[in-house]
Chain A
Amino acid sequence: MAPDVTARRWLSAAARWETGLAVLLLLIVVLGAAASPQFLTTSNLFNLLVTSGEVAIMALPMTLIIISGEIDLSVASILGMSSALLGYLWSIHWPMLAIFAVLVLLGAVAGLVNGLLVTRLGLPSLAVTIGTLALYRGIALMILGPKTISNFPAPYNTIGVIAVPHTDIPWSMAIFVVLAVISGVVLHATATGRSLYAMGASPEAALFSGIRVKRIKTILFVVSGVVCSLAGVLWTFRLATAVQNNGLGLELNVVAVVLLAGVSIFGGKGSIGGVVLAVLAFAGLANALLLTNFNQEATGIVFGAVLLISVFAPNAGALWARLGRLRKHQRPVRPARQ
């Protein structure tokens, strides 16, 4: 093996996005601890984890969807719809287990609608899920109206306060860890996972390889719907409040985490390990900004910048090359003519 090839491999390993993320995470922890003595306390870390649980959970199916070359922007609206239905059904005295069953079904149907519109009608998922983002939020409003339901009983409404027994880990994070392991195995070790990368990197080649692109994408949207509906339950119990605008705008945080994780917005690239790191980095950054009394109006700027950098950096090479080509074409050429 030529030495320059070896060097290139070593460099590419060092330049792996996940490595950079780990460094970023470390940096955030160090700076956070330096900026605020509270940062590394158990209660703050618990708080940090619990407040990002739902986003973290929703980021997992989003990762699979973006790697497959699609996107689901309706995630937060499904969360809101699930929250509203939970509140409504509880208010008319349904048993909690029956409500859970209905919510799973609700998430599945919401995801199926997205999936069928994308795969059977061939519509772009960006447009479809912007549509269902509005639609599902509208349904949430219809279900609950302006009401607020908050009389959930004790074993449920403490979910945002208590940890998994014998640990300091909040329930939502524990669920995230379990789902992350499942997603990681599916994505990195199964034929289905390989198919996701293939269809994201080259939809046509995936089709010509006999990969059931439409079926797999439909299933992904359904899974996303169910997981987001579940996230709606966690959100509702954590805030002990069901209201139609629960999780409003949260889809942007989910997409931001996934992109920060190094998942390519163009599909075909990314890892679950990256998502775990990005979840922690994102939560840490938000928490540190809060603790240091960072100007609240300006946090949007920080998150927006992080998002843009994460879209730009993984594709920097390709974008740079494109820019170079553009410049070359724009160079005025006046060949000799008499």
Chain B
Amino acid sequence: MTPAAAPVLSLRHAAKSFGAVQAVADGSLELSAGEVHALVGENGAGKSTLVKMLAGLHRPDAGELLVDGKPVALPSPAAAQAAGIAVIYQEPTLFPDLTVAENIFMGRQPLLPGRRIDRRLMRAQSAALFGRLGVPLDPGRICRGLSIADQQLAEIAKALSRDARVIVMDEPTAALSAAEVARLFEVVRTLRAAGAAVLFISHRLEEVFEICQRVTVMRDGRQVLSSELAGLTADDLVRAMVGRQMPERTAGERSEPGELVLRVERLTREGVFTGISLAVRAGEIVALAGLVGSGRTEVARAVFGIDRYDAGTVAVSGRQLRKASPSAAMAAGVGYVPADRRQQGLVMDMSVQQNVALASLAGLRRAGLVRSAAERAFAADWAQRLRLKYGRLTDPVSLLSGGNQQKVVLAKWLGRRPALLIVDEPTRGIDIATKAEVHQLLVQLAQQGVAILMISSELPEVLHIGDRILVMREGRLTAEYSHREASEEKIMAAATGQLAVQAP
């Protein structure tokens, strides 16, 4: 099955930084026709950035890209399409009010005389595409309400109709059921037989072994392994992906959990999460693991009062919280470091100082007026404690690096001396050194008696920081492990719904 021909696409030594964060340091990739190539790595290893380079969304700072042996620049998504590269995202972005056929031919509809759109031809060609893929999807259907699996198929049909020869699938199976995955794999085999080069990105290694022939492993923005899959084991891949061990919390750092701080009982938001019951004690770090979209962030938002919930209760330090009121949650001692720090954590136009003080203004007033000296001292104090790197406290927070911005968000909440701190993806998109600092900070806070609920998609983080690990899948809690009994395999099994194969 190994084609002798030159690779269809080869990316060599690509690099890309965002501010101080090096997302990809040395990314290389070779895709051949008639081959499904797996790209694996931990969250933050640089896979998505690599994909965005191929999609024409990010320009690499260095490196070269060859298509059919010729150097190509991809300054825009249109250029990527023209080069024959199509990207199927985990959640496709179709126009919801148009039909499947209209989406497939968006921007290049077949025309009749008088520039009228030839709908009949469009539908016939769409139907033919689905025929080639072997899936019965009605081209006349409006896209709104299509399952994610069907939307992906529409995207694949679109890619085929553009004669794409490189098809990139960015975690296509993350939100699919087992039957949908099986159908998608049939389609992938069809594409492969037709000579397409497929790049398949997945966290699920068993899928990689099922469908792929070659694999590239990335770690910390570098290619660390590229080889035929035959002869490799899942353990080989995991070892290549993880590479380094995170410092384990020592027994001394793990404090005895104290009083109950957060108690969530049967919290339900219809269609989002169901029957969530959990507790976090003082001095305890509870990690909430699960796939993206499993409802973890939504639970945190409901606890903090951003969203309403339909049933259940949230109590902090024995006091039941009012629904949908962040200010009530804050008064009860809850702090929330959201996942999207640029949109939710920070006011990017405001200064470092103003952002740090934003949740604590009530305590910095005299006779109703905010004392700027007190505000400055407050911000300077927290900046020093968290070793924030900044020019001036009055600089816009947007000038800081991602890691330092995250420190500002942490300072903003630590300044309120919370009893419960919810952190959502606390180290996403920040550099490794700052990441370690954030981990250390969370451990210290727990030692000081703060109850911490940490949502994280990074399993090493979950395993090494968490005292207890809860796993969510499709809006429900599916497993709970102590840090002693937890393992990546157990968590992934609970997160992906393969608990049955798992010995208790």
Contact = CB atoms under 8 A, between A and B. Distances in A.
A207 B343 contact: no
B349 A331 contact: no
A184 to B, nearest CB: 12
A230 to B, nearest CB: 24
Interface in A170-206: 185, 189-191, 194-195, 197-198, 201-202, 204-206
B83 interface: yes
A210 interface: yes
Nearest to A333: B79
Interface stretch (B150-158, B359-367, B436-444): B359-367
Contact of A205 (B74, B330, B347): B347
Contacts of B329: 210
A5 interface: yes
B338 interface: yes
Contacts of B370: 189-191, 194
B348 A333 contact: no
A337 interface: yes
Q: How large is the interface on B (under 10, 10 to 19, 20 to 34, 35 or more residues)?
A: 35 or more
Contact of A210 (B67, B68, B327, B350): B327
A208 B347 contact: no
A249 to B, nearest CB: 33
Interface in B295-342: 304, 306, 326-327, 329-330, 336, 338
Contacts of A204: 343-344
Nearest to B165: A337
A329 interface: yes
Contacts of B346: 202, 205
A238 B79 CA distance: 65
B441 to A, nearest CB: 20
A208 B336 contact: yes
A167 interface: no
B391 A189 contact: no
B345 interface: yes
Contact-size category for A: 20 to 34
A333 B326 contact: no
Nearest to B343: A204
B368 A333 contact: no
A164 to B, nearest CB: 28
Interface string A297-338: 000000000000000000000000000000011010111111
Contact of B358 (A194, A329, A333): A194
Given A331-B75, A333-B75, A202 B343 contact: yes
B347 A335 contact: no
Nearest to A194: B361
A335 B72 contact: yes
B72 to A, nearest CB: 4
B326 A335 contact: no
Interface in B66-119: 67-68, 70-76, 78-79, 82-84
B361 A191 contact: yes
Nearest to A264: B349
A209 B84 CA distance: 45
A198 B391 CA distance: 22
Contacts of B76: 328-329, 333
Contact of A336 (B70, B306, B345, B349): B70
Identify the 8 closest CB pairs spanning chains A and B, nearest first: A191-B361, A333-B79, A336-B70, A210-B330, A335-B72, A210-B326, A201-B349, A202-B347
Interface of B: 67-68, 70-76, 78-79, 82-84, 304, 306, 326-327, 329-330, 336, 338, 343-350, 354, 358-359, 361-362, 365, 368-370, 391, 412
26 contacts: A189-B369, A189-B370, A190-B368, A190-B370, A191-B365, A194-B354, A201-B347, A204-B344, A205-B343, A205-B346, A205-B347, A207-B344, A208-B338, A209-B358, A209-B412, A210-B329, A268-B349, A269-B349, A328-B76, A329-B75, A329-B78, A335-B73, A336-B68, A336-B70, A337-B68, A338-B68
Given A208-B336, A209-B358, 19 more contacts: A191-B362, A194-B370, A198-B350, A198-B358, A201-B348, A202-B349, A204-B343, A205-B345, A206-B347, A208-B338, A209-B359, A212-B327, A268-B347, A269-B349, A331-B75, A333-B75, A335-B67, A335-B74, A335-B82
